[in-house]
Amino acid sequence: MISQLFILSSKGDLLIHKDYRGSSAHTSLADGLYLKLSSLPSDQAPVVMEHEGCHFIHTRQRGLYFVISIGSSDSPFLYIDLLNRLAALIRDYCGDVSESVIRLNFALIYELLDEVLDYGYIQTTSTDMLKNFIQCDPVVMKPFSLLDMSSVGLFGAETQQSKVAPSSASSRPVLSSRHQLSEQNEIFLDVIERMTVAIGPNGTLLKADVQGELRLKSFYPNCSELRIGVSEEFCVGSSELRGYGSAVRVDSCQFHESVKLDEFEISRILKVLPPQGELTVMQYQISDGLSTSLPFHLFPSVERDPGSSRLRIFLKLRCDLSPKSQAINIRVQVPVPKGASSVSQELSSPDQNAEMSLSTQTMTWNIPRIGGGSQLSALFKVDVSGCVSLPSVLDLPPVNLSFQIPSHTSSGLQIRFLRLRNERPTAIHTWVRYLTQSDSYSVRLG
């Protein structure tokens, strides 16, 4: 049973609040929750925390905090799944999940919450069932531009025939109006992989994990059976070798309950009846067994100027992707010691920028894009009040990278085909995209 539900922005603004049990919630409660949530690491798994005598559980979605208050005896796993499903519903009906989208569609979101939860009890989270009760129409933001790769969403970037899908596919509601069913016969499949990498100070690889998923988004009502063919050399576990060539090996694999697996063992074909909206077809994990090299290698160097309190931080970033690939939205977060007051910078190209945050004691190096096989560098001269010895500098937290790599998978997983079994005379467009992004990619200084 749920008492309260909050959606907070990345800055702590209260965007959505529902009180299902008559609790005395107000802005100060949301402020206190935000202080606790923002103190957690960005890669922190959902946790149950106690605040002002209540138990709260949360998930992070695109920088937003989805938080609910639950009873002490309730199962947290049920409500974690509910929060993830609420975010998926907002994407289905509003086209995306972001602070601006929620502000524009707050009336629709409140209407969704009224139908999903009744007096704190879950009723339904089905997109198809809810479309019969939702009266509000979504407010759609301006579509993204194909010329701006940094704004490309998850869905609709590249097809099996190397075409380019409409750039607004990810920011388009599945149900455009309650009066008019969607006539856009499009189905999108994203292969999304998130990397967790830890590298020691001498360049030794300490950890390399990948969390992957096949995420389906259907704009097609009453879709017939969809067949998804994954790489024939896909194998689960080290003992299962299929003999088709270089194996795509994963340690574990989970499927949505609606997926039929009768052809998976022999032909590596998944069969599913996709509902209108978004569905995670398959999830998989790789632990310390990547078949490809790491996309980035960072070489940090920290020196102290003799006779002064200035630190020289030199960074060399090498992109080890193929020359035909590129990474976008790269951010390198470098910790700085306490007492850092000012910084001067020398960057390798004019499209880069850097900024220092005194509150978080970090220097952020922003790189719009970097091509495979290329190398960039940055030199920061940080003025620190007081005496800072080199051993204390080496005790700083690791350097962290965040990035996105379109048209790339670290596991090597590929989609062979995406077909409807009983295709109607109406043309149906299917699109596939690959995306690798960072979850936690850290390099230790000492």
pLDDT of 92? 85
Residues 6+ apart with CB under 8 A from 395: 446
The answer to whether 360 and 284 have CB atoms below 8 angstroms apart is no
Report the percentage of the chain scoring pLDDT > 70: 82
pLDDT of 156? 42
Strand partners, 29: none
Residues 6+ apart with CB under 8 A from 383: 309, 310, 340, 341, 342, 343
The answer to whether 376 and 352 have CB atoms below 8 angstroms apart is yes
pLDDT of 197? 92
**Residue 128, pLDDT above cutoff 80:** no
Mean pLDDT of 155-174: 50
Which structural domains are found in the chain, ordered by start? 2-130 (3.30.450.60), 149-291+409-438 (2.60.40.1170), 296-406 (2.60.40.1170)
The answer to whether 90 and 109 have CB atoms below 8 angstroms apart is yes
The answer to whether 56 and 33 have CB atoms below 8 angstroms apart is yes
**Residue 159, pLDDT above cutoff 50:** no
Question: Rounded CA gap, 302 and 318, in Å?
Answer: 18
**Residue 202, pLDDT above cutoff 70:** yes
Mean pLDDT of 3-12: 87
Kindly report, residue by residue over 169-193, the tens digit of the pLDDT.
Answer: 666 777 655 444 445 678 889 999 9
Question: Rounded CA gap, 140 and 298, in Å?
Answer: 40
Kindly report, residue by residue over 27-61, the tens digit of the pLDDT.
Answer: 667 777 788 777 777 666 777 777 766 788 888 88
**At 148, phi and psi to the nearest 5?**
-105, 95
pLDDT of 422? 63
pLDDT of 146? 38
Question: Strands 186-199 and 429-443: what pairing?
Answer: parallel
Distance (Å) of CA 241 to CA 159, 228, 284, 288: 29, 21, 17, 18
Highest mean pLDDT among 248-252, 332-336, 367-371: 367-371
pLDDT of 78? 86
Angle at CA 284, nearest 5°, toward 175 and 290? 130
**Tally of CA atoms within 13 A in the half-sphere of 372 that contains its CB:** 15
Residues 6+ apart with CB under 8 A from 297: 199, 203, 317, 318, 320
Mean pLDDT of 243-271: 86
Nearest to 376 by CA among 397, 355, 345, 405: 345
Residues 6+ apart with CB under 8 A from 442: 197, 198, 199, 398, 399, 400, 401
- Strand spans (E) along 183-309: 186-199, 205-218, 226-230, 234-236, 248-250, 252-255, 269-272, 277-287, 296-304
pLDDT of 163? 39
**Residue 331, pLDDT above cutoff 80:** yes
**Tally of CA atoms within 13 A in the half-sphere of 128 that contains its CB:** 12
- Band (pLDDT 50/70/90 cuts) for residue 245 is low
Strand partners, 242: none
Mean pLDDT of 303-329: 87
Mean pLDDT of 75-81: 84
- Band (pLDDT 50/70/90 cuts) for residue 153 is very low
**Residue 222, pLDDT above cutoff 50:** yes
Kindly report, residue by residue over 391-426, the tens digit of the pLDDT.
Answer: 566 677 889 999 999 999 999 999 999 888 765 556
pLDDT of 176? 57
